[in-house]
Chains A and B, each alone.
Chain A
Amino acid sequence: MGMKPKEKMIVKGKRLDGRKPDEIREIEMKVGVIPNANGSAQVRFGRTVAIAAVYGPRPLFPKHRQESDTAIIQCRYNMAPFSVEERIRPGPSRREVEISKVTRLALEPALFLEEYPETVVDVYIEIIQADGSTRVTGINAASLALADAGVPMRDLVVALSGGKIDGTTIIDLCGKEDNYSVADIPLAFLPRKGEITLLQMDGQLTPDEMKTIIKNVIKAGKKVYEKQKEALRKKYQE
């Protein structure tokens, strides 16, 4: 944000990596990558890779943190020190604490937590390779891991980012676009009813541009949803 790009980000309607403005990156999803977890998944959006593991519902201690009528979610979003070009200090930074929280809030509406009072569902998201839109990649991985763990869900959670660059609205930002974009919007939603569970914005947009981006992201999100369904089915097709 605010930084001036050295080069033009969109040339002749094509983006840096040759995509059209409304094109998503190559997606790869795999379910059941960690045998010791109740549920797990690995999701790749272009060069961004996230692994999510779900443990539970399991007993929660210390006891004062238990909720007598519902389970709680503990979510940890963590970037591996080697995930970015310049090594980052391990341990939760301000940014990671915030993303952990918004991820938790994005997942909560999809779950029937009231069926497991006094327990906890632990969601661990590790970003092992980062190239923009890491939080939405993490949410997609967590959604698959939760379904794999057999936690009762209202719907899968689909997440995708949108933004604006060089006066054009785009979707699924890569790392460079993320750095130089005028605005970027990570968005998560429940596809069956179209309910939005995560909406953040960084930068400046007009109300009309905002509406266009949300519409485009939800439209392209259907493709991500199909990929998620395919990945879950694939685990049992051998």
Chain B
Amino acid sequence: MMTEIRKIVLPGEVLGDLKENKPSYGTFEENGKIISKFLGIPKESRGYMSVIPLSGVYVPKRQDKVIGFITDVEKFGWIVDINSPWQAFLSLSEAVDEFIDFKKTDISRFYDVGDIIYAQVVDKKRGDIQLSMKNPMARKLRDGVTVKITPSKVPRLIGKEGSMINTIKEKTKTIIRVGQNGVVWLSGEKVEKAIKAIKMIDEKSHIIGLTDEITKLLSD
């Protein structure tokens, strides 16, 4: 069966003229032309030309909600692995509301190595990333399993106004949480089926009519 795929551009490919569009994410300008930086899917909207990469690492942005793994406990906070080229830091004041006496308290009773957290990126300066648990959505994720997908495909996994992720949630009766960093946390009845669907979205994000295929996979 021939599947229809979206248009794919390559690094160095000319996407258009600077007079028509402005260069946005994944592109750069050179001699009045807009050129792609990535192997990805081009997108033109409201006078901006962007390219969504089909692979790559997660680059943190302020306000992003991410799923992280605690890798180390320090005196005033925690080191968190957020699936990006840089480590993140969760400071004690951003994590706990009550007063802590350092002399008496071992802060690993709040979060310990191996814990999974859903947190928000509050600050990013070069390689220094600060996390916060003050967002109402932020919490420790207990039990469940995690899978990693390509970070640039997270919007595709969520779908328009959450359509794709809600379909998976309903059909497999699982609780799913998606971090902008490409880490997905699942818990519930048919976790394996949900993982299969998520992996399929990751692999076939460039195919037209993916929603139908996912619905078909889930109804089997």
Contacts and interface: CB of A to CB of B under 8 A. Distances in A.
A147 B127 contact: no
B8 A233 contact: yes
A39 interface: yes
A55 B127 CA distance: 18
Contacts of B206: 236
Interface residues of A, number: 35
Contact of B8 (A156, A190, A236): A236
A37 B57 CA distance: 12
Contact of A118 (B10, B54, B127): B127
Interface residues of B, number: 27
Given A150-B39, A150-B152, A236-B5, 6 more contacts: A147-B39, A150-B38, A155-B12, A190-B12, A229-B10, A233-B10
5 contacts: A57-B57, A59-B87, A147-B39, A152-B38, A153-B37
B187 to A, nearest CB: 27
A188 interface: no
A208 B150 CA distance: 50
Given A148-B39, A152-B37, A56 B11 contact: no
A119 interface: yes
B38 to A, nearest CB: 6
B126 interface: yes
Contacts of A56: 57, 85
B69 interface: no
Contacts of B5: 236-237
Interface of A: 38-39, 56-59, 66, 68-69, 71, 112, 115-119, 147-156, 190-192, 229, 232-233, 236-238
Contacts of A58: 57, 85
Contacts, number: 84
Chain A, interface SS category: loop
B129 to A, nearest CB: 11
A217 to B, nearest CB: 19
Nearest to B55: A150
Contacts of A191: 12
Contacts of B8: 233, 236
A154 B29 CA distance: 10
Contact of B86 (A59, A151, A192, A229): A59
B126 A118 contact: yes
Given A68-B126, A236-B8, A149 B55 contact: yes
B59 interface: yes
Contacts of A119: 85-86, 127
Contacts of B57: 38, 56-58, 116, 150
Contacts of A117: 126-127
Contacts of B86: 59, 118-119
A152 B8 CA distance: 15
B68 interface: no
B87 A112 contact: no
